[in-house]
Structure 1
Amino acid sequence: MTASGEASWSAERLFAGPGETRERLRRHDWAATPLGPVETWSVELRAAVRTVLPSAVPMLLWWGPDLVQIFNDAYTPVLGEKYPAAVGEPGAQCWAEVWDELGPLAEQALAGGEATYMENQQLFLRRHGYLEETYWTFSYSPVHDEGGNVAGVFVATTDVTTRVLGERRLETLRRLGMVSTAEGDDPIADSCQAVMEVLADSSDDVPVAVMYLREDIAGAAGNGAPHDLVLVGAVGTDRGTELAPRRIAAGEGIHPADARVYPLVVTGDSEPVGLLVLGISACRAFDDAYRSFFELVAAKVSTLTSDALAFEFERDRAAALAELDTA
């Protein structure tokens, strides 16, 4: 042991405590990293580690010019499949897919000692086998050594993906709820067009949307059976493609990959009057929240279709009564 007692600061002591993350930190070969053996670490680095580890906030410590990583238990879920390789890994290597966005912020903190703060920052991370759309609020705070130089960076981060996606999807539902079927000469066609316009603006969540109505309702000219489904709207794909055939014969199904198919059900009709096909984003897992959003979209479109049919029926009825009065 040296006079200063540095040798007493072993990995076992510095990373002591419960949790699988600390166990990984204790077993890591720090001598193989630019930081060197734990026993040689500076007072500032040890103090920074002891600040990060007990925090309930997801925290990451980048140290040295290579931004070698040390993080706490709360941060481990952020890493996904990057863990456990992320232990002691340089930041640029761990976050290669987003380093164009994060690198300059880290360099700013290292070079000038200026803290940075980002709110609702979109990052496409590769943590679960695909490029995932995520949103983060985070800060980079410089850590100074005894000489006043910046030796590392504290990263405190909050995953706000659920909130950002929820607000975005709620706006889509709000806009669908504002569609009016009481204007124009063709309520059904107008409502279909309005739905497609809303979903076209929601391409992050609905990259593809295809809508069908029964031929007897859509009023399409053709030789098919009245209950054949005809294409009345498509965004994110061309009409007539495998994903959006112009006609589906009665009784036939449609089973597109990476999409969900929902029946359109209206008041007073015992069977669906159409189908709504919604494509799933390649950048989001189809979780319960995503599934619920699609179900609400389909319910909104069903309601709009029902309202359009009711409005058209009442308008035609009023016109027929007017003709009778005239006669």
Structure 2
Amino acid sequence: MTTSGRPRTTAEPTRLTLLDSLFPGTDETSALARATDWARTPLGDPSAWSSELSAAIRTVMPASIPMLLWWGPQLVQVYNDAYRPICGVKHPRSMGQPAAECWPEAWAELGPRVGRVVGLGESDHEQALLLFLERYGYVEETYWRYSFSPVRSMDGEVLGVFVATTEVTATEVERYRLAAVHELAVVSTAAIRSAEDLVHRVEPVLARDRRAVPFAALYLPDPGGDLVRAAAHGIVDGSRALPERVPSGAAHPVADAARARGPRSVHTIDGELVAEPSPLGALVPTDVVHVPLCSPDGPLEGVLSVGLNPYRPDDRPYETFVTLLARQLTALLTDVRAAEHERSRAENLEVALRTNRTIGMAVGVLMASRRLSDEDAFRLLRDASSTANRKLRDVAEDVVHTGRLPH
């Protein structure tokens, strides 16, 4: 008798013993599998399960790597605890659910692959398969290393599919993001004459892989302090979000970033900008991050505005990536402005020396021909060379201040 007074049937201890045997673990997923009403799934009551299904489950459940079993015509799911995080919010209803019902957003890609395993009995594998999954309330770009293997009966019929899988999303996303940073790192500034030239040089680099940078705009300060959009990609209409000019005192996110000169700021651009769809799919980016381009103790070089990938979360790795882009662009702009200053110093010195030599020769000729008195010659030399001397003084003061001669 049970504690409630109801007689215990002979089938109950058998069923409990069978479930304990099939799902013996103390982890959350094993407990869920023991509590699942399998009779309400296409697999039916566990007491009627075939020996092949029971053996397959005993292989999957204790594995330390993520493993999944798809069984029968509807490919009903049974998975272990290492696989549970992969399901996201689909867990726990994903246990005992047909695969196509659990993963409808990816079944156009997965269905044919699994169909070949079941229909032809051939294994299938990939190192980094791109799948768009909805596990956390949004469509997510994910990458997977997996192996699909047929599970056969004694007579060779394919009864199910073993799935061993590892998510490699972080590795793949980091790979293409770092590739974008590396492309900027190898840009040479040797032949670049101005910040404007540099911006036009680096924008195609940013646009090369729009998974990393779906759209972007680079702003440079003009002499009056306003921010001018010097280059952009992935934008159909910048409108209010990324206009061609942002006054320095405007209440605008680009101007705010320039004034703050601190951490990046993110804002949503719905209705303020028309961006090109993501190269990954139909979604259009709706968030942009603004980062000031400046070193801690240096002048503002510009502002970088980057559209965020709508298929990836704006998390810490994403923040690190955007920061690396900004640092690399700041370094390039600083190098170009330093070279521009060096050229200006050298040109000033050359002009001043050439002018003084010319004036000195002219005055000497006039004095030699007695067409000028000594007093008039010195006055003329002083007045005529004042502009050149100012340039010489500027160069001299710069040399004293920096300790460097112009090249």
TM-score normalised by length of structure 1: 0.91
Matched, 1:212 2:240: no
TM-score normalised by length of structure 2: 0.73
State the shift of 1:322 in Å. 2.3
Q: Hey, what does 2:301 align to over in structure 1?
A: 273
CA distance in 2, matches of 1:145, 1:246: 68
CA distance in 2, matches of 1:12, 1:321: 90
- Report if aligned partners of 2:68, 2:80 keep a CA contact under 8 Å in 1: yes
Q: Secondary structure at the match of 1:155?
A: strand
Q: Hey, what does 1:139 align to over in structure 2?
A: 147
Q: Hey, what does 1:196 align to over in structure 2?
A: 203
Q: Hey, what does 1:303 align to over in structure 2?
A: 331
After superposition, give the CA deviation of every residue in 1:167-213 in whole Å (9 maximum; x if it has no partner): 111111111011122214x4311211122111111311221211111
Matched, 1:285 2:292: no
Q: Hey, what does 1:321 align to over in structure 2?
A: 349
CA distance in 1, matches of 2:73, 2:92: 22
Amino acid at match of 2:291: Y
- Report if aligned partners of 1:228, 1:247 keep a CA contact under 8 Å in 2: yes
Q: Hey, what does 1:66 align to over in structure 2?
A: 74
Amino acid at match of 1:206: V
- Report if aligned partners of 2:25, 2:62 keep a CA contact under 8 Å in 1: no
Matched, 1:171 2:190: no
Q: Hey, what does 1:228 align to over in structure 2?
A: 226
Match of 1:261 among 290, 314, 322: 290
- Report if aligned partners of 2:180, 2:212 keep a CA contact under 8 Å in 1: no
Q: Hey, what does 1:222 align to over in structure 2?
A: none
Structure 2: gaps (5+ residues): 1-8, 254-265, 269-286, 356-407
Report matched runs for 1:239-258 at 5 Å: 240-252=238-250, 253-254=252-253, 256-257=267-268, 258=287
Q: Which has the larger radius of gyration?
A: 2
Match of 1:312 among 340, 345, 348: 340
Structure 1: gaps (5+ residues): 217-225
CA distance in 1, matches of 2:345, 2:353: 12
Q: Hey, what does 2:274 align to over in structure 1?
A: none
Q: Secondary structure at the match of 1:326?
A: helix
Matched, 1:30 2:38: yes
Q: 1:260 to 1:121 in 2, by over 3 A?
A: same
Q: 1:291 to 1:266 in 2, by over 3 A?
A: closer
Amino acid at match of 2:195: I
Query: What root-mean-square deviation, in Å, do the aligned CA atoms of Structure 1 and Structure 2 show?
Result: 2.0
Q: Hey, what does 2:398 align to over in structure 1?
A: none
CA distance in 2, matches of 1:266, 1:308: 14
Q: Hey, what does 1:220 align to over in structure 2?
A: none
Identity of aligned residues (%): 41
Structure 1's consecutive aligned runs of 4 or more residues displaced over 6 angstroms after TM superposition are none
Amino acid at match of 2:113: L
- Report if aligned partners of 1:176, 1:300 keep a CA contact under 8 Å in 2: yes
CA distance in 1, matches of 2:243, 2:170: 34
Larger RCO (CA under 8 A, 6+ residues apart): 1
CA distance in 1, matches of 2:129, 2:186: 29
Amino acid at match of 1:259: V
CA distance in 1, matches of 2:244, 2:29: 55
After superposition, give the CA deviation of every residue in 1:99-131 in whole Å (9 maximum; x if it has no partner): 111111111111111111111111111111111
Amino acid at match of 1:227: G
Q: How many residues are paired up?
A: 314
State the shift of 1:268 in Å. 6.5
Match of 2:102 among 63, 88, 94: 94
- Report if aligned partners of 2:227, 2:246 keep a CA contact under 8 Å in 1: yes
Q: Secondary structure at the match of 1:181?
A: coil
Instruction: Indicate the larger mover: 23-32 or 153-162.
Output: 23-32
